[in-house]
Amino acid sequence: MKRVPVFNDLKRIGSDRVTAIGIGTWGIGGYESPDYSRDKESIEALKHGLELGINLIDTAEFYGAGHSEELVREAIREFERDDIFIISKVWPTHFGYESAKKAARASAKRLGTYIDLYLLHWPSDSFEKIRETLHALEELVDEGLIRYIGVSNFDLELLKRSQEVMKKYEIVANEVKYSLRDRWPETSGLLDYMKHEKIALIAYTPLEKGSLARNECLAKIGERYGKTAAQVALNYLVWEDNVIAIPKAGSKAHLEENFGAMGWRLSKEDREKARRCV
């Protein structure tokens, strides 16, 4: 079995260490329905990311109606499983004690393995459903199907309420939209709170669907480091100790560029300049 190279730019999720940049799979294998047209290319891209040394893959049952999870299974087949950290998520329509357990088992079957971090994908209108789901996930930790519990798209108030109802385990991550252009985790107090609580903030859409990669101001900052605009935008996020970014892994070239956002840090002055670029 292949080993995932150990890279030195690592963040903590629970007691595990993961690369500061992960591999996002939204759109890989389809969006709200399966798309099999680019399966081979997608699998090769995911494998390439692992070969580079990116050890974190983010997926969900909603992505491609589960097909993205199937592609992750194929991509990791040749690698040591313990070298890889896999995130998946339960969609709100499957919230509830029994349905969440069923959804997690279905995701694990598609992935062909246990799930390192299982997230509630979006808030529910019913907090009771959130409570039931979190308690179901705690039992799944005891069963060994999942290792850690987290949430996604939870604001500060809902994160705190969710923490309060946990019986045995802690919420170790909250995956939210966060980018240089959309800095609401900073302005809302969510980022500071999560830093204090040692909760990982996993940032999705960190490049704003590619628009930040085309930002000339960020590109000019990057010239001083031999980096691209996209790498500056990603580095801005992972500069914070508890922030992990998961840009979409669209191709091998994108993965290599994402990988190059790690292993260095913007100066405080350039980080402040980057804020003014958008």
Residue 118: which CATH number?
3.20.20.100
Residue 172 near residue 162 (C-beta atoms within 8 A): no
Q: pLDDT band for position 232 (50/70/90)?
A: very high
Q: What is the mean pLDDT of residues 189-193?
A: 98
Whether 250 shows a pLDDT value over 80: the answer reads: no
The answer as to whether 276 is a domain residue is: no
The answer as to whether 218 is a domain residue is: no
The answer as to whether 185 is a domain residue is: yes
Q: What is the mean pLDDT of residues 139-155?
A: 98
Q: Is 63 an annotated catalytic residue? A: yes
The answer as to whether 199 is a domain residue is: yes
Whether 48 shows a pLDDT value over 90: the answer reads: yes
Residue 129 near residue 99 (C-beta atoms within 8 A): no
For 119-139, the pLDDT digits (tens) are 999 999 899 999 999 999 999
Overall domain count for the chain: 1
The answer as to whether 67 is a domain residue is: yes
The answer as to whether 214 is a domain residue is: no
The answer as to whether 178 is a domain residue is: yes
Instruction: Convert 34-50 to b/e letters by CB count within 10 Å (16 or more is b).
Output: bbeebbeebbebbbbbb
Active site residue: 31, 36, 63, 178, which one? 63
Domain containing 149 equals: 10-209+236-252
Q: What is the mean pLDDT of residues 101-117?
A: 98
Least-confidence region, from 97-106, 199-208, 233-242, 245-254: 245-254
* pLDDT > 90 fraction of the chain, expressed in percent and rounded: 95
Helix, strand, coil: what percent of the chain each, to 5?
45, 20, 35
Give every CB contact of residue 81 below 8 A, 6+ residues apart in sequence.
Answer: 113
Whether 25 shows a pLDDT value over 80: the answer reads: yes
The answer as to whether 21 is a domain residue is: yes
Whether 201 shows a pLDDT value over 90: the answer reads: yes
Question: Residue 184: what pLDDT?
Answer: 98
Q: What is the mean pLDDT of residues 78-104?
A: 98
Q: pLDDT band for position 249 (50/70/90)?
A: confident
Task: Give dist(CA 217, CA 53) in Å, integer.
Answer: 29
Over the chain, what is the mean pLDDT? 97
Classify the C-alpha dihedral 123-166-20-17 as positive or negative. negative
Q: What is the mean pLDDT of residues 227-238?
A: 98
